[in-house]
A and B are shown apart, each in its own frame.
Chain A
Amino acid sequence: MKQEIAQIKQQIKNYTISSSDELEAFRLQFLSKKGSIQELFKFMKKIPKKEKAAFGKSLNELKKLAQNTFDQAKVAQSDTHTVLLSAKDDISLTSLSLPVGSVHPLTKTLQEMKNIFYRLGFNIADGPEVEDDFHNFTALNFPPNHPARDTQDTFFIRKDENPTIPDLVLRTHTSPVQIRLMEKQAPPIRSIMPGRVYRNEAVSPKSYFLFHQVEALYVDQHVSVADLKESLITFVKLMYGSDVIYRLRPSYFPFTEPSLEMDIWWGSKTNGKWLEILGSGMVDPNVFMASGVDPEQYSGFAWGMGVERIAILKYGISDIRIFYDNDIRFLNQFI
């Protein structure tokens, strides 16, 4: 008897119901009064009393299985048999697309940088793009005949014979905002200063006459090269991953002393090169004095880097001009 139950169970499991005819055939075979399960119930009387309960139980389970299978198949049948109401009720039709906006890749890069600086406790400051000679050069310790002051490199907005009227330039870097900050507030200062800067240069895939920089300034008592190093390392690790390979090397900028640059290793271990990513240093005492900060009481560090340069590395861009074409096919890659 057990064998027959198992056999029917197997038959039910193997039964494929893909039409209403098959569904009816299933019902007749297993669930009707003359069906195979009902037939088995007839044997009930012949079962010894001791086994009756177990036999009854397994028969009921079998019946339940057949009924469930039937019910599920019926539901499935009724689903597929729903009549399509109309062609436009087809939910596989494409939807109307809503516009999806994007931030410019330079904004995106800048936001990443800002997020890192937020974690380092820096806030954000801003300054003008048209800047006077004092803030752009003199206060930053550029000697009077420094090449950067030449008209060859810098856009002049105003140049007056009268020495009391200051020369105006399109700022060549974001460093003048350092001076403005220190003039305005006493240390401690911990700020970054992003912005647009200008160089009077011919346009090429590698250079454009305007670009963007981020300047960082930290001034307090007892700020040292070690602190600078700490924040540089934290920055590159957060920007490029904790396994970034970097090096620091001495350099020169008029407004920092000592000055150092940071390179990161770009490419694989065997096939790569050092790429300069930022310039930095300890704020030069002359810069402090020009801004009204006592260099004996305070020390500080500053660093600057180009947003385009970082974005170019990050996104593998080969021509800087593409940032200013605003081609929608380019912009849509940064959604």
Chain B
Amino acid sequence: MKLSCNWLNDYVSLPENVQEIADTLTLIGLEEEKIEHIGVSLNQIIVGEIRTVIPHPDADRLSICTVFDGNKELKIVCGAKNVEVGQKVAVAPVNSTLPILDKQGKPIKIKKSKLRGVDSEGMICAEDELGISDDHSGIMVLPPDTSPGISLSQLFHSYQDSVIEIAITPNRPDATSHIGVARDLSAKWAVPLSIPTVTTPEQIVNQGKKFTISIEDPNKCSRYVGVVMDNIQVSPSPAWLKNRLEAIGLRSINNIVDVTNYVMYEWGQPLHAFDADNLKGSTIHIKSFDDTQEFTTLDGIVREVPSGSLFICDDEQIIAIAGIMGGENSEVSLSTTTIVLESAYFDPSVIRRCSKQLSLQTDASYRFERGIDTNNQLTTAMRAAGLIQEIIPDALITETIDIHPAPKKILELSLRVSRVHQILGLKIDEEWIIKQLNRLEILSKISSSGIIECQIPTFRPDIEREIDLIEEIGRLYDYNNIPSPSNGISLSSSPFSNWEQDKQKIIETLVGLGFNEIYSNSLISEAEASQFGNIDEMIATLNPLTKDMTTLRPSLLPGFLKAISYNKNRNAKGLRFFELGNVFFSDEKGTFHKGIGEQTHILIGLAGQKHEDHWLSPSTKNTFMDLKSSVQSLLVSLGLDHRVNEKIDGQNSLRYYIGKQYLGNLSQVNKTLQTIYELDQAVYFAEFNFQLIHEARRDFGVPTFSKIPRYPGIEYDIALVMDREITAGTIKTEISNMGTKLLEKVCIFDVYEGKNIPNNKKSIAYRLYFIDPNKTLNLSDIEPIIDKVVRSLNKKYNIELRS
């Protein structure tokens, strides 16, 4: 909201420095967003009389003038054609500042200067240089009877103001008005607040019952004040009113509408004026309809107003959407002579719903939605009527109606001083608290030792509890002034979560293995998601802004492929990415909520070149085995390499398990996806369930030291000829399982097919490492084991030793 400093100054005495006011507002919770200066100052410009004019010796277009400034004569070089002896002109003397700003937005200061070798002691101004108009055709010539030496500000009344725009949090409806803001400032600065006095209606004679008011539901409208005024002459507003409204960015319409807006920005109470002659019948109804109503608002737009909305109606028709906008049919016009001023309280939720449904927020709805003062309708109506009478002296108040079916009780709260101390961490003096609360018009007094009884004014609906009062004290005290203990808070004995540590471990390992971490989008389009599984088993948003973000990712793969594709299109050569993030899927039992599975996954992937052309070797492409190495290193680093087993799943995919549980897969991206993501090279990825990794790591406990073996181990190579269909991994597992506890590990060191091997066979060479912690092994110790392994493999798989 925009605040005019001139206006605020009516209620509370402001310091000169606008920035100081703005800073104070920020520190009491009304954050300054912008400061604007409106109007120009002509104080420094004086009237001069031209006594002589001679041509400049070195410049055809310039003249040298002698100008009398009321005191002395100044020599000024002037470029205007219309300069003549005897003219009264506007002079900006040396050291004065022009009221306008230069192109960089900086003030223009007049300096003593030389123009083509001639000294000039000031400037004779054109209208545009004074900010009076855009005219730059020549110097401004003033009436001949103007006295030299007087300030131009005595001739031209230019309205000047500083406007502070503030952000208002939803809990401060009272701050949507100048009086509300002034009240806060008066409390903060401990200076008096002077609010305009309003004549109370008891002193006004009601001249009959032209209108009655009927409220259908007091829950929707708890008060309605109508003031009927006669002898109205609608005309443009006086300058003071126009200036104030325009300063805060409102358009001046006419004297009646402007007064209603003025009072709204003064008190925060929205008002509306109806042309009474256009109202049919004698009753004003505040009511709702069960069906949608078509209604033309005063901006000329026909609106479909949904059922349940609140309306103001006469006996025949709708005349306004309550709290939002009036109707064209009852709008105040130049021919209006009688008006009904409306000042009402409408329920915030009713107005909010309607405003939202119509997508129409007005200054009035903005205030009603937040909750205005429940008890200020009569005062504000009378304030408006009084202002109208000031502007139109003939105007008469003929009728004042105040329907108040549901008066709100004043809320009383107890405030424990000890609680204030406890929450703020500061011992604040009881007297100070009471004084401050009273300045905020929260009537407060000590009731018993350490308890302050407070009456909450009706304009502060946000204060409902003790804690809300403590906030008021805190913000007026200024949080910056609360001393912080500066000894730090005490130590915590709770450990870092293992979940967090495991995540860090994975990130560190993968960075060490040369992968770049990526962050991909967790919302993707349905079309994209459907490439990664059955769309019915995925989780979708009901109200996405665009179709690009409908479905929660069922896997980290789409984000990875998008990142690969993005970089490929930008000529990246080799890419190694990983991501740690959540995926979502339908799950009857659910992770946190029934029906919703949410799992943290880890994806590792690579594509493109392993390295570029190099003198040691030509460029090499990344392969499945490159990724498998990284996955293996990760598993070793996580201590899971012995617990994870793999199973072949087709030609280009491995499935990994921890025990019986499926951990994830390592695969080459299939052709379909390659086409969709426009990838011309092979892409490999592995995606694992982080939850399982985390759980498996919890089984370890604290790692303990195991002795370094004192005796050397022994290696034994066997080359096995087997059917091509048998996978090398299967046999490796078989060997591992049969090798007794002396067998430490098994590696494959040679793969051969071709000459000397039958067509349907291949030869795989395994190297077995044996070690015994208690003695040096001899060949004789392990030959029986080898024999057993070979015999068993022969029996089960028809495998033979290569001779």
User: Secondary structure at chain A's binding surface: helix, strand, loop or mixed?
Assistant: mixed
Of the candidates B29, B465, B598, which one forms a contact with A129 in the assembled complex, judged by CB atoms under 8 Å apart?
A: B598
Q: Any chain A CB within 8 A of the CB of B660? A: no
Q: Are B545 and A202 closer than 8 Å at their CB atoms?
A: yes
Of the candidates B468, B482, B577, which one forms a contact with A257 in the assembled complex, judged by CB atoms under 8 Å apart?
A: B468
- Report the minimal beta-carbon distance from A285 to chain B, rounded to whole angstroms: 6
Q: Are A222 and B511 closer than 8 Å at their CB atoms?
A: no
Q: Are B507 and A107 closer than 8 Å at their CB atoms?
A: yes
- A326-B567 CB under 8 A given contacts A224-B426, A248-B480: yes
Q: Which residue on B lies nearest to A222, using beta carbons?
A: B422
CA–CA, A103 to B506, complex, Å? 11
Q: Which residue on A lies nearest to B29, using beta carbons?
A: A250
- A101-B543 CB under 8 A given contacts A210-B523, A226-B424, A226-B485: no
Q: Are A130 and B584 closer than 8 Å at their CB atoms?
A: yes
Total count of chain A residues near the partner, CB < 8 A: 81
Q: Which of B577-591 contact A (CB under 8 A)?
A: 577, 581-582, 584, 591
Q: Are B545 and A226 closer than 8 Å at their CB atoms?
A: no
- A331-B465 CB under 8 A given contacts A101-B511, A124-B500: no
Q: Any chain B CB within 8 A of the CB of A39? A: no
- Report the minimal beta-carbon distance from A238 to chain B, rounded to whole angstroms: 11
CA–CA, A202 to B29, complex, Å? 29
Q: Are B483 and A226 closer than 8 Å at their CB atoms?
A: yes
Q: Any chain B CB within 8 A of the CB of A24? A: no
Complex contacts, A210 vs chain B, CB 8 Å: 521-523
Q: Which residue on B lies nearest to A168, using beta carbons?
A: B593
Q: Which residue on A lies nearest to B496, using beta carbons?
A: A123
Max count, chain A CB within 10 A of own CB: residue among B422, B517, B520? B517
CA–CA, A224 to B567, complex, Å? 50
Q: Are B570 and A121 closer than 8 Å at their CB atoms?
A: no
CA–CA, A118 to B504, complex, Å? 14
- A250-B494 CB under 8 A given contacts A226-B484, A226-B485: no
Q: Are B479 and A249 closer than 8 Å at their CB atoms?
A: yes
Complex contacts, B545 vs chain A, CB 8 Å: 200-202, 209
Of the candidates A97, A157, A209, A231, which one forms a contact with B596 in the assembled complex, judged by CB atoms under 8 Å apart?
A: A157
Q: Any chain A CB within 8 A of the CB of B541? A: yes
Q: Write the B187-206 contact mask toward A (1 if CB under 8 angstroms, else 0).
A: 00000000000000000000
Complex contacts, B410 vs chain A, CB 8 Å: none
Q: Are A170 and B426 closer than 8 Å at their CB atoms?
A: no
A6-14, A28-36, A57-65, A148-156 - interface stretch: A148-156
Of the candidates A123, A145, A170, A328, which one forms a contact with B516 in the assembled complex, judged by CB atoms under 8 Å apart?
A: A328
Complex contacts, B549 vs chain A, CB 8 Å: 209
Complex contacts, B496 vs chain A, CB 8 Å: 118, 123-124
Complex contacts, A124 vs chain B, CB 8 Å: 496-497, 499-500
Complex contacts, B511 vs chain A, CB 8 Å: 101-103
Q: Which of A224-280 contact B (CB under 8 A)?
A: 224-227, 229-231, 233-234, 247-252, 257-260
Q: Which residue on A lies nearest to B574, using beta carbons?
A: A99
Complex contacts, B485 vs chain A, CB 8 Å: 226-227, 230
Q: Are B29 and A248 closer than 8 Å at their CB atoms?
A: no
Q: Any chain A CB within 8 A of the CB of B172? A: yes
Q: Are B494 and A331 closer than 8 Å at their CB atoms?
A: no
Q: Are A103 and B517 closer than 8 Å at their CB atoms?
A: yes
Q: Are A284 and B467 closer than 8 Å at their CB atoms?
A: yes
B304-312, B349-357, B385-393, B672-680 - interface stretch: B349-357
Complex contacts, A227 vs chain B, CB 8 Å: 425, 484-485, 489
Q: Which of B414-472 contact A (CB under 8 A)?
A: 422-426, 465, 467-468, 470-471
Total count of chain B residues near the partner, CB < 8 A: 91
Q: Which residue on B lies nearest to A284, using beta carbons?
A: B467
Complex contacts, B520 vs chain A, CB 8 Å: 324, 326
CA–CA, A285 to B470, complex, Å? 12
Q: Which residue on B lies nearest to A221, using beta carbons?
A: B422
Q: Are B541 and A157 closer than 8 Å at their CB atoms?
A: yes
Complex contacts, A106 vs chain B, CB 8 Å: 519
Of the candidates B474, B491, B516, which one forms a contact with A225 in the assembled complex, judged by CB atoms under 8 Å apart?
A: B474
Q: Which residue on A lies nearest to B542, using beta carbons?
A: A156
Q: Write the A89-133 contact mask toward B (1 if CB under 8 angstroms, else 0).
A: 000011011111111101100000000001011111111111110
Q: Which of B193-248 contact A (CB under 8 A)?
A: none
Q: Any chain B CB within 8 A of the CB of A327? A: yes
Complex contacts, A79 vs chain B, CB 8 Å: none
CA–CA, A299 to B421, complex, Å? 12
- Report the minimal beta-carbon distance from B419 to chain A, rounded to whole angstroms: 9
Q: Are A226 and B519 closer than 8 Å at their CB atoms?
A: no
- A190-B492 CB under 8 A given contacts A257-B468, A324-B521, A327-B570: yes
Complex contacts, A249 vs chain B, CB 8 Å: 26-27, 29, 31, 479
Complex contacts, B15 vs chain A, CB 8 Å: none
Q: Any chain B CB within 8 A of the CB of A21? A: no
CA–CA, A150 to B352, complex, Å? 12
CA–CA, A202 to B548, complex, Å? 11
Of the candidates B465, B475, B572, which one forms a contact with A328 in the assembled complex, judged by CB atoms under 8 Å apart?
A: B572
- A230-B484 CB under 8 A given contacts A129-B582, A299-B422: yes
- Report the minimal beta-carbon distance from B325 to chain A, rounded to whole angstroms: 20
Q: Any chain A CB within 8 A of the CB of B171? A: yes
Q: Which residue on A lies nearest to B471, using beta carbons?
A: A258
Q: Any chain A CB within 8 A of the CB of B512? A: yes
Q: Are A101 and B519 closer than 8 Å at their CB atoms?
A: no
Complex contacts, A170 vs chain B, CB 8 Å: 541, 552
Complex contacts, A303 vs chain B, CB 8 Å: none
Q: Any chain A CB within 8 A of the CB of B300? A: no
Q: Which residue on B lies nearest to A167, using beta carbons?
A: B542
Complex contacts, B593 vs chain A, CB 8 Å: 128, 130-132, 166, 168
Q: Any chain A CB within 8 A of the CB of B169? A: yes
Q: Any chain A CB within 8 A of the CB of B539? A: yes
Q: Any chain A CB within 8 A of the CB of B40? A: no
Q: Are B480 and A125 closer than 8 Å at their CB atoms?
A: no
Q: Are B519 and A326 closer than 8 Å at their CB atoms?
A: yes
- Report the minimal beta-carbon distance from A52 to chain B, rounded to whole angstroms: 66
Q: Are B598 and A252 closer than 8 Å at their CB atoms?
A: no
Q: Any chain A CB within 8 A of the CB of B614? A: yes
CA–CA, A120 to B593, complex, Å? 33
CA–CA, A104 to B570, complex, Å? 19
Of the candidates B470, B489, B595, which one forms a contact with A258 in the assembled complex, judged by CB atoms under 8 Å apart?
A: B470
Q: Are B539 and A157 closer than 8 Å at their CB atoms?
A: yes
- A326-B576 CB under 8 A given contacts A225-B474, A251-B29: no
Complex contacts, A314 vs chain B, CB 8 Å: none
Of the candidates B172, B470, B499, B523, which one forms a contact with A209 in the assembled complex, judged by CB atoms under 8 Å apart?
A: B523
Complex contacts, B497 vs chain A, CB 8 Å: 123-126
Q: Any chain B CB within 8 A of the CB of A282? A: yes
- Report the minimal beta-carbon distance from B592 to chain A, rounded to whole angstroms: 4
- Report the minimal beta-carbon distance from A194 to chain B, rounded to whole angstroms: 9
CA–CA, A130 to B497, complex, Å? 22
Q: Any chain A CB within 8 A of the CB of B611? A: yes
Q: Any chain A CB within 8 A of the CB of B700? A: no
Complex contacts, B156 vs chain A, CB 8 Å: none
- Report the minimal beta-carbon distance from B512 to chain A, rounded to whole angstroms: 7
Max count, chain B CB within 10 A of own CB: residue among A96, A158, A282, A326? A326
Of the candidates A259, A323, A332, which one forms a contact with B519 in the assembled complex, judged by CB atoms under 8 Å apart?
A: A323
29 A-B pairs (CB sep. < 8 Å): A93-B615, A104-B518, A104-B519, A120-B488, A127-B592, A128-B592, A130-B598, A155-B523, A157-B540, A159-B542, A190-B489, A196-B581, A196-B582, A198-B523, A224-B424, A225-B474, A226-B482, A226-B483, A226-B484, A227-B425, A227-B485, A247-B480, A250-B479, A251-B31, A252-B169, A258-B474, A323-B519, A327-B567, A328-B516
8 additional A-B residue pairs with CB within 8 Å, beyond A250-B29, A284-B467: A107-B519, A121-B491, A126-B499, A156-B542, A170-B541, A170-B552, A229-B482, A250-B475
Q: What are the 7 closest A-B residue pairs judged by CB atoms, nearest first?
A: A224-B425, A99-B514, A226-B425, A250-B29, A252-B169, A121-B492, A258-B471
